A and B are shown apart, each in its own frame.
Chain A
């Protein structure tokens, strides 16, 4: 139990003193995961909605793929992004391996299937209810996409949060493409991995507690945001 009480005290001290190193790590974690989940959302949401609204060849396959990729292993995504961005890989000339941008790319790839699958699920139901009415109003399916998403805005928020949760919690992809560089690509999760390997178990756990508190805060904020959206 010693470890857990130590960790709680350390976590409290980290939060109270706003330790500059921890603050930097937290800022990077939030920035990278937030950007990645926005990117995943912007790419994934229209695709998920289209999968429900249009009829096209290979549609079933796309739905199966998106759902299967919910279990995409971060370490595999990390490896693929690493090989693409490596100087000897196809996108090497960009020189973005071991940067926060590389981490955003990897986490975006992890978030897209989540957004696609959840938005598709939501749109299937709403399209059944409102689809005909929206088309009767004279809109094309493309034009109808915005209202159908707005109708499902709470589910969209859930999809965004799920992508964010996946991003902020994962370590396998970003430790490969980011390199866990001190002051540059070190995030909460990679710092926890590092402190564990130094044998600083209670400090690692303290960082874990800070991460959980952050997730709670993000979730609470979006609940408030969601309430504001639905208030009329």
Chain B
């Protein structure tokens, strides 16, 4: 029974305990609200790709955007397919992606008004340095045919990202119906560019990557670029404002201001100035009407 009395004794003191807890909760809540208030500046949500994030472009670019335009850009790095879907659900103000066919479909559906080309780089075929399928220096279509013929391990993004869309188009151009031809050698990992490179590095597989992510990638293991410089490997990035008529919540002025800056001579020069170990990652081409 002493245990019971001990407990009752404590309960009689519980108002003090309650007061202390109330104060602690109040302080925490205030701190959090203040933290939130700091974030209520002018900002937009940009749905974008893992390649632009994993290549470090945004870490470099966004502080400059903030300084020059005063706009805080919140980037969702999702892969082109998911980024466009996020915008279709009205959860983003701007999309900045790299799959022209998917972007044109997005425009045709009325979710965007106009597509602005921003920059390009290229895809590269990465593979083990000892090159078991013998594809080094070949053109990309021949290289894919050789990988298929030897059933050499290949990592596919498998996530409807811009790179994944480009990869599937390349298989098709190489005359291979990858949907039917794929076997255990062809692994769809359903993840971002960096994750695909990590997987390829750990399993000595071939993988298609954008050059920017590859240059920034730090866990290469025995991988190297085996095929590059083929015109099929061109990789164009475009930016679009989400149509305010479809999505009234879109911050159209800020979004357009961001797009205008990105495609302005100033923004274009800053993109060109982004380098890793002296190598330029993205080539601005906002003035190319065909891009």
The interface of chain A, by Cβ under 8 A from chain B, is 27-28, 31, 34-35, 38, 86-89, 92, 95, 97-101, 130, 133, 146-147, 150-151, 179-185, 194, 196-201, 229, 232
Contact = CB atoms under 8 A, between A and B. Distances in A.
A88 B62 CA distance: 28
Nearest to B59: A182
Interface string B24-68: 010011011001100100000100001001101011001000000
A146 B74 contact: no
Given A86-B89, A182-B62, A130 B7 contact: yes
Interface residues on B, range: 35 or more
A200 B195 CA distance: 11
Contacts of A89: 89
A89 B86 CA distance: 12
Interface in B159-197: 191-195, 197
Given A182-B59, A199-B218, A201-B219, A232 B6 contact: yes
B90 A31 contact: no
Contacts of A101: 36
A163 B195 CA distance: 30
Contact of B17 (A87, A97, A200, A229): A229
20 contacts: A35-B32, A87-B91, A88-B90, A97-B91, A98-B74, A130-B4, A146-B11, A150-B17, A179-B74, A181-B75, A182-B62, A184-B72, A185-B74, A194-B54, A196-B198, A197-B50, A198-B218, A199-B197, A199-B217, A200-B218
Nearest to A32: B32
B193 A182 contact: no
A44 to B, nearest CB: 16
Nearest to B46: A181
A194 B9 CA distance: 52
Nearest to B197: A199
B124 interface: no
B44 to A, nearest CB: 11
Given A98-B76, A181-B75, A92 B90 contact: yes
